[in-house]
C-alpha cells in the first residue's frame, strides 16, 4: 500500500500532530513501508496456532476454594467506633 502526501497530511490532522510539509514525503515513504510489512504479516498461515498472552508459559497459583470466616473478626471489630454482639453499630438512616 502506498501513501501520498495528502493522506499523510490527513492522518497528521486526525492525530492532531503538526507535520511540516517538507517532512510529509519522507513520512509517506516510512508509513508505506510499515503498511507493506503488515500486509506481509497477513500472508502468514496461522491456522492451528494457539493465541498466546506471554512468551513464557505461566500457570496461575491457586489456593484451595474453602469458605472460612477469616478468623480475624475480633481484630476487625477493634477498628469500629462502636460494636454490639460481634457486629458494627451504625446510625439509623431510615425513619
Q: What is the structure's pLDDT at 71?
A: 83
pLDDT, one tens digit per residue, over 45-69 is 989 888 887 888 888 888 888 888 7
User: Average per-residue pLDDT in the chain?
Assistant: 90
pLDDT (tens digit, 9 = 90+) per residue, 3-45?
999 999 999 999 999 999 999 999 999 999 999 999 999 899 9
φ/ψ bin of 32: left (φ > 0), alpha (ψ from -120 to 50), beta (otherwise): alpha
pTM for this entry: 0.50
pLDDT reported for residue 55? 82
Amino acid at each position: 500500500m502506498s501513501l501520498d502526501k495528502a493522506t499523510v497530511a490527513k492522518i497528521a490532522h486526525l492525530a492532531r500532530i503538526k507535520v511540516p510539509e517538507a517532512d510529509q514525503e519522507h513520512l509517506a515513504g516510512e508509513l508505506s513501508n510499515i503498511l507493506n510489512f503488515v500486509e506481509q504479516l497477513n500472508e502468514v498461515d496461522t491456522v492451528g496456532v494457539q493465541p498466546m498472552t506471554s512468551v513464557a508459559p505461566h500457570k496461575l497459583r491457586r489456593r484451595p476454594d474453602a469458605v472460612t470466616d477469616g478468623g480475624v473478626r475480633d481484630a476487625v471489630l477493634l477498628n469500629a467506633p462502636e460494636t454490639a454482639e460481634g457486629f458494627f453499630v451504625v446510625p439509623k438512616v431510615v425513619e
